[in-house]
């Protein structure tokens, strides 16, 4: 069910939510968090679809802020999505214009769930300092996605300077399975130091840089990045050791081959992770991701050097 509320107020939105709840529509009890999505001037539908899918694991209230690009006086148009149009959540889409757009924190405050954690997600362009953004200041977790930015590498460097506890990036989440597989192979004998690591992947994909930074920070070895145009994100990680190389290779973006000395080749399903999977993973934790903070602040500097 979709309810359109043109030229409205947050009070009227809350009244309508209460009315729908009392009449037996969506039940707002049991929500575990409030997810704020700042879509800026971009189409928010992909982000809403991902949030709806993630809400089946994390029932939440989703508040979407999408700028009204038309030249108008200070007005607020809203849309409420319930039931089948909102997954296991309730979605409130706000389209502020004029001066209202400059006070996003006061705009969303009346709609926040009481005594529930707040997560803020920027699915497209990223503020200079997420923790100091009006929506970032009120959140326990702040999620960015440098893969959707025009200049991912520059945005990563900017985030490294502005990092605060609670920050994370979906480019880091997309590499979770790669990190897990590499860590598992290094936990097996022979326990030798890695002489050199090489990460191969798409030329501008930030997951490639974060994977290389993680290896540099964790293994304290030289790390090279081989960049390929039009590659499917990360395509290969190679660790050079005295007994032979460990190679995790995924040239097609679907299935990986793990090759180790004196062992048969292992085939592993390793498809490129979808947006909804990454968002659901980040909503599972509300504590700071300390490893991401170290990689962002120290690991990136190692591969730059």
Predicted confidence (pLDDT) per residue in 262-283, tens digit: 999 999 999 999 999 999 999 9
pLDDT (0 to 100) of residue 78: 96
Write the pLDDT tens digit of every residue in 181-209: 999 999 999 899 999 999 999 999 999 99
pLDDT (0 to 100) of residue 93: 97
CA distance 129 to 172: 18
Could you say which residues of the chain have pLDDT below 70? 24-30, 71-72, 305
41 and 116 in a single domain? The answer is: yes
153 and 60 in a single domain? The answer is: yes
Residue 97 lies in a domain: yes
pLDDT (0 to 100) of residue 89: 81
127 and 49 in a single domain? The answer is: yes
pLDDT (0 to 100) of residue 305: 59
131 and 163 in a single domain? The answer is: yes
Range of the domain at 85: 2-169
Q: How far is CA 83 from the centre of its chain?
A: 25
64 and 204 in a single domain? The answer is: no
Residue 286 lies in a domain: no
- At residue 53's C-alpha, the angle toward residues 47 and 59, to 5°, is 105
pLDDT (0 to 100) of residue 239: 98
pLDDT (0 to 100) of residue 71: 64
Domain count, the chain: 2
pLDDT (0 to 100) of residue 40: 93
Query: Nearest-CA neighbor of 207 among 222, 194, 225, 223?
Result: 225
111 and 35 in a single domain? The answer is: yes
Which class for 220: exposed (0-12), middle (13-18), buried (19 or more C-beta within 10 A)?
exposed
195 Cβ contact list (under 8 Å, min separation 6): 221, 222, 240, 241, 242
pLDDT (0 to 100) of residue 284: 94
Single pTM value for the model? 0.93
């Amino acid at each position: 069910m979709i309810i359109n509320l043109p030229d409205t107020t947050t009070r009227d939105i809350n009244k309508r939510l209460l009315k729908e709840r009392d009449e037996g529509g969506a039940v707002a009890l049991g929500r575990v968090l409030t997810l704020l999505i700042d879509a800026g001037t971009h189409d928010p539908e992909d982000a809403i679809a991902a949030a709806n899918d993630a809400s089946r694991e994390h029932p939440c209230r989703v508040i979407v802020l999408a700028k009204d690009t038309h030249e108008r006086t200070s007005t607020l148009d809203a849309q409420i999505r319930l039931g089948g149009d909102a997954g296991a959540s309730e979605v409130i889409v706000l389209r502020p214009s004029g001066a209202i757009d400059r006070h996003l924190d006061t705009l969303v405050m009346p709609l926040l769930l009481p005594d529930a954690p707040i997560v803020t997600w920027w699915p497209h362009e990223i503020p200079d300092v997420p923790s100091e953004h009006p929506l970032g200041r009120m959140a326990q977790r702040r999620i960015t996605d440098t893969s959707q930015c025009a200049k991912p590498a520059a945005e990563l460097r900017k985030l490294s300077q502005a990092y605060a506890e609670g920050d994370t990036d979906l480019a880091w989440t997309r590499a979770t399975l790669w990190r897990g597989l590499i860590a598992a192979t290094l936990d097996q004998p022979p326990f030798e130091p890695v002489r050199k690591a090489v990460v191969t992947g798409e030329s501008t994909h930030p997951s490639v840089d974060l994977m290389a930074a993680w290896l540099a920070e964790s293994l304290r070895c030289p790390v090279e990045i081989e960049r390929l145009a039009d590659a499917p994100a990360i395509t290969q990680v190679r660790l050079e050791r005295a007994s032979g190389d460990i190679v995790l290779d995924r040239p097609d973006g679907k299935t990986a081959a793990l090759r180790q000395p004196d062992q048969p080749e292992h085939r592993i399903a390793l498809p490129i992770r979808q947006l909804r999977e990454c968002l659901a993973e980040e909503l599972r934790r509300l504590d700071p991701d300390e490893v991401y903070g170290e990689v962002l602040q120290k690991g990136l500097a190692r591969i730059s050097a």
